[in-house]
Amino acid sequence: MATRNHNAAAAAAAPQLHHNRGGVPALGKQKAVAAGRADAMNRRAPLGDIGNYVSVRATDGKPEPQEQVNRPVTRSFGAQLVKNAQANAAANKQNAAIAPARPAPRLERKAPAKPPPPEHVIEISSDSDQSKTQSESSASSVRSRKKVINTLTSVLSARSKAACGIADKPRQAIEDIDKLDVNNELAVVDYIEDIYAFYKTAQHESRPRDYIDAQVEINSKMRAILADWIIEVHHKFELMPETLYLTMYIIDQYLSLQPVLRRELQLVGVSAMLIACKYEEIWAPEVNDFILISDSAYTREQILSMEKGILNRLEWNLTVPTSYMFLVRFLKAASPGIKIDKEMENMVFFFAELSLMQYGLVTHLPSMVAASAVYAARLTLKKSPLWTDTLEHHTGFRESELMECTKMLVSAHLTAPESKLRVVYKKYSSEQFGGVALRPPAVEICK
CA atoms of 143 and 138, how far apart (whole Å) = 9
DSSP state of 118: P
pLDDT in tens, 60-101: 445 555 555 455 656 677 777 778 877 777 776 665 555 555
Is 396 in contact with 329 (CB distance < 8 Å)? no
pTM across the whole model = 0.63
> Reduced to 3 DSSP states, what percent helix, strand and coil does the chain have, rounded to the nearest 5?
60, 0, 40
Angle CA(234)–CA(352)–CA(221) in degrees, nearest 5? Answer: 75
Q: What is the pLDDT of residue 79?
A: 75
Ordered domains of the chain (ranges, CATH)? 206-313 (1.10.472.10), 323-446 (1.10.472.10)
Quick one: angle between helices 366-380 and 323-334, nearest 10? 40
pLDDT in tens, 398-437: 999 999 999 999 999 999 999 999 999 999 999 999 999 9
pLDDT in tens, 130-164: 555 555 555 555 444 444 455 555 545 555 444 44
Residue 173 has pLDDT above 90, yes or no: no
What 437-442 contacts at long range (C-beta under 8 Å, 24+ apart), as own/partner pairs, is 437/350, 437/413, 439/347, 439/380, 439/381, 440/380, 441/380, 441/410, 441/413, 441/414, 442/376, 442/379, 442/380, 442/410
DSSP state of 396: -
In the three-class reduction of DSSP (H, G, I as helix; E, B as strand; rest coil), residue 126 is classed as coil
Q: What is the pLDDT of residue 17?
A: 41
Would you call 423 exposed, middle or buried from its count of C-beta atoms within 10 A (0-12, 13-18, 19+)?
Answer: buried
Radius of gyration of the CA atoms of the chain, in A: 52
Instruction: Quote the mean pLDDT of the chain.
Output: 78
Is 196 in contact with 330 (CB distance < 8 Å)? no
Q: What is the pLDDT of residue 148?
A: 46
CA atoms of 297 and 267, how far apart (whole Å) = 8
CA atoms of 308 and 306, how far apart (whole Å) = 5
Task: Fill in the amino acid letter for 292.
Answer: L
CA atoms of 385 and 129, how far apart (whole Å) = 59
Closest C-alpha to 23, from 79, 73, 81: 73
Task: Fill in the amino acid letter for 378.
Answer: R
Residue 344 has pLDDT above 80, yes or no: yes
Confidence of residue 179 (pLDDT cuts 50, 70, 90): confident
Residue with the larger pLDDT of the pair 446 and 104: 446
Is 315 in contact with 276 (CB distance < 8 Å)? no
The per-residue DSSP string of 119-180 comes to PPPPPP--HHHHHHHHHHHHHHHHHHSPPP---HHHHHHHHHHHHHT-SSPPPPPPP-TTGG
Closest C-alpha to 347, from 334, 338, 362: 334
